[in-house]
Structure formats: C-alpha cells, structure tokens
Amino acid sequence: MTRSNFSVGKFLFVICVASLLAPLAAAAQSATELGAPPKLIVGGGFVDDKLPAMEQEQASRVEALSQERTRYKSGKDMAPAAEPAAKGPTKMEQVEMSLEEVPVTEGVDLTTEALDNKFFRDISRQENLTFQEVFETAGSLQTDVQSIGEIIDGEPSNQVTFSMKDVVYINRGTANGITSGMKFAVLKKGRNSVYHPVSGSYLGNMVTFEGLLEVLESNVKVSKAKVIRSYNVLERGDLITPYEKPLLPSFDPDTPVLDKDINGYIIQARDPKAGMSKGDVVYIDVGSEEGVEVSDIFNVIDNRSVVRNDGKTVEGIPKIIGKVKVISIGENTSTAIIIASKSAMYSGDKIEFSPN
C-alpha cells in the first residue's frame, strides 16, 4: 500500500467514528444542562424515564407490609382460632339418652287374678296331654254305645280276626248313604258289664277304639271295606261309627288351678291286670257332673285295710301312692292316665283332687 492510500483510509475511519459519537455527545450536553447525570438501563433508554413509577410502586409495597405487620401485632382482622371439637357422649350416656326417649306405656297385668280363660286357651301356649294313639285307644265307660252298624264278615270266610290290609264287610250299603272312600271307626264293646268296686252300682261297658276302615265298594245293603289302621285285632260283631279324627286334648301348664272338693275311686284299668302302675290307662268314677275337667290331677290314696299281729283287720293309715291325670270326661266317669306311682294301685283305691 502507498502512503497516499493509507491517508485516505485513515481519514474515512475518523469520519465514521465521529458520526457515531456525535449523538452521544449531544445527549450528554443536554443532561448536563438539566443537572442530572445520565443513567443507561438495559434494553435502551434511561432510568430517569421510569423512576417515578418505580418509586411509587416501592412505596406502596412498603406501606402494605407495614399495615400487615400492624394488623398481625394487634390481632385485628385475623381469622378466629378454631374451637376444639365438641366431645361426643360416651356409650353409657348414649344408652341413657335412648332410654329417656322411649315413651313409657302402661304394661299388661299378668297376675293370675288379671288373666282370663281366653289367655290360657291361646293355642300358642298349649301343650298336649298325651300322644294321639294313646288318646284314641284309651277308651271309656259307656252305658249307651252309639254306632250305625257292625262288621259281619271278612276275606277269607274262615278267618276269625282281622288286622291291617284285611278286607271285611259291613252291614250298611248305598241304601244307608254309604259310598266308596268313606271311613269308619271300629269300636269294641266289652263283653262284661262294669260295676263300681265299692258300691256295686252298674257303670256300663268299656268301649275302645280298635281300628279304622275305608269303604272300597258298596251294594244296596252291604259294603266292602279295607282295614287301614288297627290297634288290636278286629272281629265279626265289632261296631262301626263314622270316623272323625278326635281333637287331641291340650292345656296351658301355667293355668291357675282352683282347689276342688272332688273325691272318688279307681274303677278299673283298661287292660285287665291285678296291679296298676305309671303309664296305665284307668277309669275313675267322677265326671263332668262332679266338676271334673280335662287335665285335672288326682292323688291316689292307699286306704286298704291292714292285718294286726293278733289277726284283726283294721283300717290302715291313708298314704298317697301315685297320681292320675284326666284326658277325657263323661257325665259320671272319666278316663285318666297314671302319671306317678310309688307302689301298685288297685280297683277301689281312693282318689282326691290335687291342686298341684
């Protein structure tokens, strides 16, 4: 490069720098004239342009913090402290509260004096006196046996007694309204009349339920039937009567028992035997006319005579040797079951009503 060329380049550089510095110098001069030093901020412009707004914002923040500090110290405008949770009632207190809410009503008087027969006859309170089979076959003493006919024959003809599934013939047919499917109870009337063991008076005959027949077919005067139940052997001459299942007697064991002045005697047992004991069915000489009711209990008294060492017979001391409970009643006689026995009982032993 020649000297002349270098001089020209230098001159051009100086001109460029001067053109760049000229605006800065003018700004510095105007700032000097206003008396405030120029301050540059990043992004262009001077601090002086935004200072008033910044100072006002800072002052507002300071004042807000000061007011917040004052409220905190004085406790004003602060949220009230949360109250402790209320303590619930204990389990015992809850039970007592629930009892207090239950309305008090007048109760039912369950004393013996306040209860009537309707209460004690409630089916839900009843207990059966005995089993169905025992009740049906217990029998009774009757002076007038009600029947509509009798067994007159059977198959085969040479058969003397009949039992379950055997075929028999009865002396009643369509002329008497008999139709197939009808059922008849078979009654056996004791051959011997029954007399009172003490007074000797006639009491009737023992009648027992021995079996059940179902009619298979009917002619005008005779019907063919099948034995569908038998408690004992059936024979020609046994009586028949329309069958209705007897209602099993029941009672409420809590029923108050009124004392009764009823005394009598054991007549005999259903099954012939010398001495009677617990479980045997017996007949006694008191019934509805004397005030006897189903479920009544009687003490059995041993009043038999005894023999002294000198051979004399004297009356012994009365002793309770057992109890009987009534399961069915007639007018002047009743059927009972021996429910307790200390020793053998016999026809003619005394009985007396027992309230317990």
User: DSSP string spanning 14-81?
Assistant: HHHHHHHHHHHHHHHHHHHHHT----B-TTSSBGGGTHHHHHHHHHHHHHHHHHHHHHHHHTTTPPPP
Does 73 fall in a domain? no
Average confidence (pLDDT) over 301-327: 91
Peptide bond into 156 cis (omega under 30): yes
pLDDT at position 119 is 46
pLDDT at position 245 is 86
pLDDT at position 89 is 74
Amino acid at 311: G
Whether 265 shows a pLDDT value over 80: the answer reads yes
Among the ranges given (84-98, 145-159, 320-334), the one the predictor scored with the smallest mean pLDDT = 84-98
Tally of CA atoms within 13 A in the half-sphere of 310 that contains its CB? 2
Average confidence (pLDDT) over 69-93: 61
Is 186:124 a contact under the CB 8 Å cutoff? no
Give percent above pLDDT 70 in the chain.
Answer: 66
In sequence order, which residues have a C-beta less than 8 Å from that of residue 148 and are 6 or more positions away?
Answer: 172, 176, 184, 240, 241, 242
Backbone angles phi, psi at 269, to 5 degrees: -90, 155
Does 32 fall in a domain? no
Average confidence (pLDDT) over 159-169: 96
Looking at the structure, tell me whether residues 232 and 279 fall in a common domain: no
pLDDT at position 124 is 57
> What CATH code is carried by the domain that includes residue 265?
2.40.10
Looking at the structure, tell me whether residues 145 and 235 fall in a common domain: yes
Our count of domains for the chain comes to 2
Does 111 fall in a domain? no
Ordered DSSP codes for 66-133: HHHHHHHHHTTTPPPPPPPPPPPPPHHHHHHHHHHHSPP-PPP--SGGG--HHHHT-GGG-EESS-HH
Q: With 0-12 CB in 10 A as exposed, 13-18 as middle and 19+ as buried, what is 347? A: middle
**Domain end (from 224, 242, 260):** 242
Among the ranges given (54-58, 87-91, 114-118, 308-312), the one the predictor scored with the smallest mean pLDDT = 114-118
State how far the Cα of 211 lies from the Cα of 202, in Å rounded to an integer. 27
Does 347 fall in a domain? yes
Looking at the structure, tell me whether residues 211 and 267 fall in a common domain: no
pLDDT at position 272 is 84
pLDDT at position 65 is 67
Average confidence (pLDDT) over 76-99: 62
Looking at the structure, tell me whether residues 220 and 145 fall in a common domain: yes
Tally of CA atoms within 13 A in the half-sphere of 321 that contains its CB? 18
Residue ranges making up the domain that contains 141 = 132-242
Looking at the structure, tell me whether residues 173 and 208 fall in a common domain: yes
| Greater pLDDT, 128 or 23 | 128
Average pLDDT, the chain: 80
pTM score, whole prediction:
0.63
Confidence of residue 315 (pLDDT cuts 50, 70, 90): confident
**Domain end (from 209, 242, 275):** 242
**Domain end (from 200, 223, 242):** 242
Whether 102 shows a pLDDT value over 70: the answer reads no
| Greater pLDDT, 25 or 183 | 183
- Per residue in 26-58, pLDDT (tens digit) is 555 554 444 444 444 444 444 455 556 666 776
Confidence of residue 305 (pLDDT cuts 50, 70, 90): confident
Does 99 fall in a domain? no
Looking at the structure, tell me whether residues 191 and 278 fall in a common domain: no
- CA nearest neighbour of 150 among 133, 168, 164, 126: 168
Average confidence (pLDDT) over 102-127: 51
Among the ranges given (5-19, 129-143, 158-172, 199-213), the one the predictor scored with the smallest mean pLDDT = 5-19
**Calculated CA dihedral for residues 329, 331, 333, 336, nearest 10 degrees:** 10
Whether 111 shows a pLDDT value over 70: the answer reads no
